[in-house]
Chains A and B, each alone.
Chain A
Amino acid sequence: MQWIKKHLATLSRLSILLVMFLLLVIVSPSFGTMTNILNVLRVSSLTLMVATGIALCMLVGGIDLSVGATIALTSILFGSRFQLGHGIGDMVFGIAGILVVSALIGACNGFCVAWLRIPPFLATYGIQQIARGLAYVLTNGLVYSNFTSTFQFIGGGRILGIHTPIIFAALLLLIVGLMLNKTTLGRRIYAVGSNREAARYSGINVNATLMMAYILSGIIAGFAGIVYTSRLNCAEPTIGSEFAQEAIAAAAIGGISFKGGHGNVFGVVVGALILTLITNGMTLLSIDSNWQVGATGVIIILAVLIDRNTAKKKH
């Protein structure tokens, strides 16, 4: 009983997911197939990866609106540079380049938030505008495609029948989860998020911690971008325009608090799955795509509401 009380919020999130899943299994015959379940997992794994990064920013009391633009800019850079040569060396160089550029974008966010004291919402929105603008300037509307099969394997291949994005997302989540729970950096992130002043007095370098959270979020977005670009086998400047919103919603549904310091990163899995089930389910049920947008909105509100009410947190 004590255990149930303690984990009521988590249980309620899981039960929303379970109810949605069961409903879809009942009403749509093609939903329960192995192909579709893998499909759902694969689609949600991209949201999951991005949301893991955003969760870090949310844990330090911030937010990151720039992830979608980061993905667009880095994949465009990758596409335009990597297309020049096609060897493995180029690919490794390109991937390293993506991670460096995305870390830089994260660092810009972190710098604006930590040192310039710009509110995270505005700082990352501004950086988002700049990064996506650059992506457009660089491509002038072109789409880069036809990457090598080695590169395509990263996001489009299967290992033991499981799509690679699912494996990557799981690994990433595991690493971030361990980092948050077992390392000093993790403890610092929680400390800075729950009470910045107290963290400062206890000798934590708050600015450095903030910086790290944003850089990590940037790198994770860049990594997700590699997987995404590879899976689609194309880089276009418009990709990811709704990633930030979706990932933030996933993190929020997953129980990561906007005020910082609260939430378990593994909860993000549930959030990402719930969001993917909405689109996947509505497509399978042939519901007009006009309604999908709204359904996402309703589920976001309901999930957060149920979560809050069961958690019974006082503000």
Chain B
Amino acid sequence: MNAKSGRRRVQAVLKRVPMTLFLLLGIILVFSLLTGPAKYLKLSNVMNVINQCASGVGILALGSFLAICSTGVDLSLGGIASLSGMLTAKLLSWAPAPIGPALLLVLAIFVALAAGAVMGSLNGLILSRTNIPSFIITLGVSKICETLSRVIAGGTTIRVNGHAAFEFIGSGSLLSVQQTTMKGARVITRSIGILPVSVLIMLALYVLFSLLMRRTPFGTYVYAIGGNYEAAELSGIDTTRTRFRVFLLGGLLAAVTGIIMTSRLTAASAANGLGMEFDGIAAAVVGGAAMTGGRSTPWRTFIGALTISVLRNGFSMIEMLPAMQMIAIGLVLIIVVAIDAARNRR
């Protein structure tokens, strides 16, 4: 192998590595310099960020990615997460329950997912039949979800009373290690979950969606629709059904987020999850999705979601004012998209 082809191979590899990964590493480097790597990069904080990603924007971002990839946008994801989380809590706090706790848990999760599916299909049904911009429809559906969530809450927050199996979803871990840190003269030993259930769920979903996008006709159709809607329609792709499925899946993913969120907080308030859809969109876009559709992959979206979580955690570690955080995230978003747009034009 000569030097030239070696360089070419490196270039080829580099080309496949998404820019966002470098951005993410750069951000991590900056934060660890500012906070002190020993503090910032210790196991418990790494797991903290990944956990925050899994119960927050991580899973939801897949839904945003799907919608954006098929030239739409889904503003109802936060609302659906709120509704599903609320339903889970409401069912689990059913007392006295007519069925055992295990069965109740299954029922609660089923109902929450079903609600996500119903709301997602409502989006999908209207969108795929009428071609009204997804922006306005999902906005409407989001408001409907929020209302349902508030009404179910009935003017209070719903607590889930010590349901260990349920709490395991959001806070449990399959494997834990002991971490010892020094705090002045005190030694603090904490057990840190290194295989958290919520993170495993997130990773499983990413593997699943990666396969779905690459290996199935559905994935091909979504990219085709995003690439060129008219051409996709002309080539015989059932655009109606594909778009319907995109939003149905989005609803399901948001429901999973809602369940994990409720499990982590062991309580649901109607405000939980609202506004998360914008984080999801930001994650997908930072990951490389173009609003014009047809680009990026689930794994790139994952990097985008991680970037958002790393930014939020890092800002709070370096004690940045919340208002400045808002400005910083706005700037990051604009800069990333501007660079992306400039590269595409070339």
Contact = CB atoms under 8 A, between A and B. Distances in A.
A315 B127 CA distance: 12
B132 A294 contact: no
A288 B341 CA distance: 46
Given A125-B278, A298-B140, A304-B132, A112 B291 contact: no
A273 B135 CA distance: 21
Contacts of A137: 321, 323-324, 327
B195 interface: no
Contacts of B155: 290
A89 B255 CA distance: 56
Interface string A126-167: 111110111011000000000000000000000000000000
Interface string A201-220: 00000000000000000000
A293 interface: yes
B246 to A, nearest CB: 17
The interface centre, meaning the residue of B141, B155, B322, B337 with most chain A CB atoms within 10 A of its CB, is B337
Contacts of A112: 334, 338
A294 B337 contact: no
B136 A249 contact: yes
A133 B321 CA distance: 10
A123 B334 contact: yes
B345 interface: yes
Given A121-B291, A315-B131, A300 B139 contact: yes
A58 to B, nearest CB: 10
Interface residues of B, number: 44
A65 to B, nearest CB: 9
Contacts of B73: 121
A293 B82 CA distance: 14
A301 B337 contact: no
Is chain A's interface secondary structure helix, strand, loop, or mixed overall? helix
A63 interface: yes
B112 to A, nearest CB: 19
B285 interface: yes
Contacts of A32: none
A18 interface: no
B233 to A, nearest CB: 10
Contacts of B49: none
Contacts of A118: 334, 337-338, 341
A93 interface: no
A290 B155 CA distance: 9
Nearest to A315: B131
A239 interface: no
A252 interface: yes
Interface stretch (B15-23, B145-153, B180-188): B145-153
B137 interface: yes
Contact of B341 (A116, A296, A304): A116
A290 B150 contact: yes
B232 interface: no
Contacts of A116: 334, 337-338, 341-342
Nearest to A129: B330
Contacts of B333: 122, 125-126, 129
Is chain B's interface secondary structure helix, strand, loop, or mixed overall? helix
Contact of A119 (B137, B292, B322): B292
Interface in B316-346: 321-327, 329-331, 333-334, 337-338, 341-342, 345
A293 B147 contact: yes
B327 A297 contact: no
Contacts of A309: 130
B334 A127 contact: yes
A198 B303 CA distance: 38
B133 interface: yes
A133 B136 contact: no
Contact of A291 (B135, B140, B147, B334): B147
Contacts of B341: 116-118
A133 B327 contact: yes
B306 to A, nearest CB: 19
Nearest to B335: A126
B126 interface: yes
B75 to A, nearest CB: 9
Interface in A272-309: 288, 290-298, 300-301, 304-305, 308-309
A290 B146 CA distance: 9
A54 B341 CA distance: 24
B159 interface: no
Contacts of A297: 139-144, 146-147
A245 interface: yes
A9 interface: no
A258 interface: yes
23 contacts: A118-B334, A119-B291, A121-B135, A122-B334, A125-B278, A133-B325, A136-B322, A136-B323, A137-B324, A248-B135, A290-B147, A290-B151, A294-B144, A294-B148, A296-B140, A297-B142, A297-B143, A298-B140, A300-B136, A300-B140, A301-B136, A304-B132, A305-B132
Given A117-B341, A300-B143, A301-B136, 14 more contacts: A122-B281, A122-B333, A123-B337, A129-B327, A129-B329, A130-B327, A248-B139, A258-B133, A290-B150, A297-B139, A297-B140, A297-B146, A301-B137, A305-B126
The 8 A-B residue pairs whose C-beta atoms are closest, nearest first, are A294-B147, A297-B143, A129-B330, A136-B323, A133-B327, A119-B291, A133-B326, A258-B133
